[in-house]
Amino acid sequence: MNSVYIDTNIFLYISNENSSFYSESIILVKYLKKNNILILTSTETIQEVIYVALKTKKLGYGLKTTEKIFEIIEELLSINKKAINFYLNLVAKHPTSDSRDSLHIATCIENKIPIIITYDHGFKKFKEIKALTPKEFLEKINL
């Protein structure tokens, strides 16, 4: 494995030291960096962070989180036409899934990323790629 896709919630927890998921998320990122595993996410993640920040009237937190994302990731993946085609197929196949989750999965498929790391259990219903929590990922590698 040479790359993983990190979902929005991981970055939100990394930016909040009071989160019960903060430590686990930090350990995950440190492990990935130390082992030269590419940390990837997409433009959709940035949009989601800012959306949450505006909705909760915490734009400063959203901007701080975006800065952290740029510090952590190796590459910010764009949502292109091919990814949108995968997305439309996923939406048809999984009509009860969250549309944004389908977009993240489509980006993973388009970029051949086998694992998404997330605390969102909605991703578990997708069989197209593996969805793991940070804890599950770290246990899988025996850390």
CA–CA distance, 137 with 143 (Å, rounded to integer) = 9
Structural domain count of the chain: 1
Span 6-65, pLDDT tens digits = 999 999 999 999 999 999 999 999 999 999 999 999 999 999 999 999 999 999 999 999
Strand, helix or coil for residue 7? coil
User: What length does the chain have?
Assistant: 143
CATH assignment at residue 80 = 3.40.50.1010
Q: What is the pLDDT of residues 91-113, one digit of tens each?
A: 999 999 999 999 999 999 999 99
Q: Is the pLDDT of residue 143 over 70?
A: no
Full-model pTM: 0.93
- 130-132/115-117 β-pairing: parallel
Single out the residue of 100, 89, 99 nearest to residue 128, CA to CA.
89
Among 99, 138, 100, 89, smallest CA distance to 9 is for: 100
Q: Which domain holds residue 77?
A: 3-140
